[in-house]
Amino acid sequence: MLKRKEIPAFALPTGLNILEQKELTLNNGIPVHFIQGGTQNVAKLDFVFAAGVVQSDKPLVAAITNTLLQEGTTTMSAFEIAEKIDFYGAFLGQSTNYHHAQITLYSLSKYLPNILPIIEDIIKKPALNQHEFDVILAKKKQDFQVDSEKVKTLAHRKSQEVLFGAAHPYGRVAKLHHFDEITLADIRAFHKKQYASNLCTIIVSGQPGDELLSLLNRYLGGKDWSNQTADKHEVALPKASKEHFHHEKKENAVQSAIRIVRPCITKDHPDYLSLFILNTLFGGYFGSRLMNNLREEKGLTYGISSYMVSFLKAGVLGISTEVVADKRALAVEEIFNEMDELKKNHIKEEELTRVKNYLLGDLMRNLDGPFAVSDAFRGLLGFNLDFKYFTQLEQTIKEITPAKIKDLANKYLVRDDFYVVIAGK
């Protein structure tokens, strides 16, 4: 019988239900990470290549190459590809980051025998013709010019340059003149060099059926598309700016964008998980210290957040917001005041428990189902980490103390370690 007058006991969420991962290998050595789960006969396949910004010599090459793959092959036009994908009710997407580029397929499992030949053609035999190249380049140039009018974009670009140096892959920001310097020959050379079987990883999730390995071997398991390119992800040491304040002026801007950033650790560092919790408390969710101060109490901004980015070889800890130009000095000072508060005083158990509850719920949501698990796993590629990372995160969330939070704040929230970047008036 329900006891409606008694308040249920409070308890933090427990027990991650992470789907098991199987390690498979194609005949040509391509590793396949298989995460089986779900009740529907639907599959998601990620084809990941070492073809990101780090591997390209010029800005824009990696992103445009990846985009052009779907714009026609030697046997099909872009229209024919789109028509076939649509006919089978599938979805094809692509993305590029600093170290990897990927093609993602969502499909009903019964149609994989029909769609994988299309994927093979896209990866191995893209047309990469001049007309499609010119169209994509013009569109990206127009998008770039539109984005360049936004102060938040200008602040982000400048912050990357400030932290890593303009010549470093992580700090190498595209400029307008780069659109006139890239050629189709650059794209073809990059595809030939980086889209090879020895630089490919496949992540499969869902219920692809019993013929998965056979199908992948049939279309992608041959040795006809390998090369001698090494799977390298090394980058030079960053050359951070000597100046800690930078102002990108934009006179007609209504607001000023603020980025306060510092070099930070990567996912494989022992402090990373604990610092992730501190970051959430500081500015990583709606109930954070920064939101309560700058939005709720002082009304300086509609939104503010702190964030952690972990590239393979370096990390960033930053704060991002937009404020009215004449309030930016106050906003910057209040951000540093919140850092000082975390360094001086222990947080209350009630606040820490609230953050723990939020993080545990968010962690469970991010690992709910095979597709979500595959996305989470993809974020670990290159770090030599496995699913134990998530159980360690759960344990760290449960065990972290106010004293640990204060120690981390004194180690990582040091004013002199941060760079302030303003874009706007």
Residues 212 and 284 placed together within one structural domain of the fold = no
Residues 262 and 327 placed together within one structural domain of the fold = yes
Residues 185 and 46 placed together within one structural domain of the fold = yes
> What pLDDT digit, counting tens, does each position of 311-334 carry?
999 999 999 999 999 999 999 999
Residues 186 and 301 placed together within one structural domain of the fold = no
Q: What is the pLDDT of residue 16?
A: 77
Residue 234 lies in a domain: no
- How many structural domains does the chain have? 2
The answer to whether 30 touches 197, Cβ cutoff 8 Å, is yes
Return the CATH number at 384: 3.30.830.10
Residues 165 and 197 placed together within one structural domain of the fold = yes
Q: What is the pLDDT of residue 17?
A: 79
Which parts of the chain have pLDDT scores under 70? 1-2, 8-14
Q: Which helix (H) or strand (E) holds 306?
A: strand 304-310
- The C-alpha atoms of residue 105 and residue 113 are separated, in whole angstroms, by 13
Any residues with CB less than 8 A from the CB of 132 and at least 6 apart, and which? 68, 71, 72, 78
Residues 167 and 273 placed together within one structural domain of the fold = no
Residues 170 and 280 placed together within one structural domain of the fold = no
Residue 40 lies in a domain: yes
The predicted model scores a pTM of 0.92
Q: What is the pLDDT of residue 85?
A: 97
Residue 99 lies in a domain: yes
Last residue of a domain, one of 221, 236, 259: 221
Last residue of a domain, one of 221, 237, 258: 221
Last residue of a domain, one of 153, 186, 221: 221
Residues of the domain holding 161: 21-221
- The C-alpha atoms of residue 45 and residue 26 are separated, in whole angstroms, by 15
Residues 203 and 269 placed together within one structural domain of the fold = no
Residue 226 lies in a domain: no
Residues 214 and 257 placed together within one structural domain of the fold = no
- The C-alpha atoms of residue 138 and residue 131 are separated, in whole angstroms, by 11
Residues 156 and 27 placed together within one structural domain of the fold = yes
Residue 14 lies in a domain: no
Residues 278 and 383 placed together within one structural domain of the fold = yes
Residues 259 and 196 placed together within one structural domain of the fold = no
Any residues with CB less than 8 A from the CB of 149 and at least 6 apart, and which? none
Q: Can you tell me whether residue 44 is helix, strand or coil?
A: strand
